[in-house]
Amino acid sequence: MSPAKRRLVALAAGVSESLADTWSRIKWRDIPEGWRDALISHLGAQRNPIFLNPGPDDNYMIQAAAELFGKQLKDLTTSEMSKVAMRAAQLKRAHTAPRPNVELGTYENGIFHPWTRRPKSRQKSAIRRQNPDAAGIREDFTGAPVEHETVRQEPHMPAGNYAQLGKLLTLAVKPRTGGQVLEIRGHGVLIVSDESAQQIWFVGGDQDITAALPQFGAIERRGGIYELGEAREIHYEQRKEHVPHPEQDQWRHRFGEETDERPTVLFDLPHKRLLLEGGAYRIRREGIVN
């Protein structure tokens, strides 16, 4: 739900104008589960329900506010409240008995298929269904609500919704023929992820490296798609509100840091677009992983 819609819901429930602005910036997922029922039941009856009608997790919120900012709940700013809610959820989990081990999977024709025993091709499609949508990926990755959507025409990409991850600064590539790692610089190029949170695409800007293909020893695979080499590192720019120092907005990720599986860099000559193929990276709240 967009901030504007959250504000309308708060106003409809009787929240004041000033508090409605605050509510519009708080994401539902950042509110501990135990608070949610109390919040829903009291929202229409109180002007400031989160303070006047605390739920069963109130002690965790108080503890988190004191630990992080040395403040009372009523003195927190919007951004501080979001961080306190996340810390309160961590405190609650630390004092909650662990859940018993369960095996996830799906039923098909009356037969249970555990994901861990599925062929890899079926595991991927099952896991994808558990991922958030593009807006959720973007919010988790940046720690800030999605404020607008952009419609673009990118013929090299499947139709769908994508989460913007930041601006491409450089992409380090080990040429397929060996030799020194080469850097491709991004000029107005955006990095986006599809809703699987396992596939990066490059959008817009100047991606034309036609003149540099010989330096990579590039070979044509099919239909004007050239293989350049192995992706080693990606350097990008994106402000992240949920990290200790949001002003430090440049990030580097080394591919294959966990499993040594790295994606292959391709170049779509007809569309003048860079592509990533394969690898085992994932888009998570903490950044690009593996």
What per-residue confidence (pLDDT) applies to 77? 77
Long-range contact list for 211-214, CB < 8 A, 24+ apart?
Answer: 212/182, 212/184, 213/267
DSSP 115-126: GGGS-HHHHHHH
Q: Tens digits of per-residue pLDDT, 265-280? A: 999 999 999 999 999 9
Angle between helices 78-94 and 33-42 (to 10 degrees): 130
Mean pLDDT of 161-172: 94
β-partners of residue 273 are 268
Q: What is the mean pLDDT of residues 222-226?
A: 92
Q: What mean pLDDT comes out for the span 189-205? A: 94
Predicted pLDDT of residue 120 = 46
The percentage of the chain sitting over the pLDDT mark of 70, rounded to a whole number, equals 66
Q: Label residue 86 by pLDDT band (50, 70, 90).
A: confident
CB count in 10 Å sphere of residue 170: 15
Angstrom distance (rounded) from CA 274 to CA 256: 19
Specify the residue for token string 């949001």. 246
Q: What are the tens digits of pLDDT across the range 61-72?
A: 888 888 898 988
> What CA–CA distance (Å, rounded) separates 124 from 71?
45
Least confident of 89-98, 157-166, 245-254: 89-98
The pLDDT, as a whole number, for residue 75 is 82
Torsion of CA 204, 290, 234, 156, to 10 degrees: -20
* pLDDT(283) > 90: yes
pLDDT, residue 129, reads 43
The pLDDT tens digits for 176-195 are 999 999 999 999 999 999 99
Q: Which residue has the higher pLDDT, 31 or 140?
A: 140
Mean pLDDT value of segment 133-137: 88
User: 175-200: b or e for each residue (b if 16 or more CB lie within 10 Å)?
Assistant: bbeeeeebebebeebbbbbbbebbbb
**Packing angle between helix 17-24 and helix 3-12, nearest 10 degrees?**
140
pTM of this structure: 0.55
What average pLDDT is seen over the chain?
A: 77
In this predicted structure, the answer to whether residue 7 has a pLDDT above a threshold of 90 is no
> What kind and span of H or E run contains 128?
helix 120-128
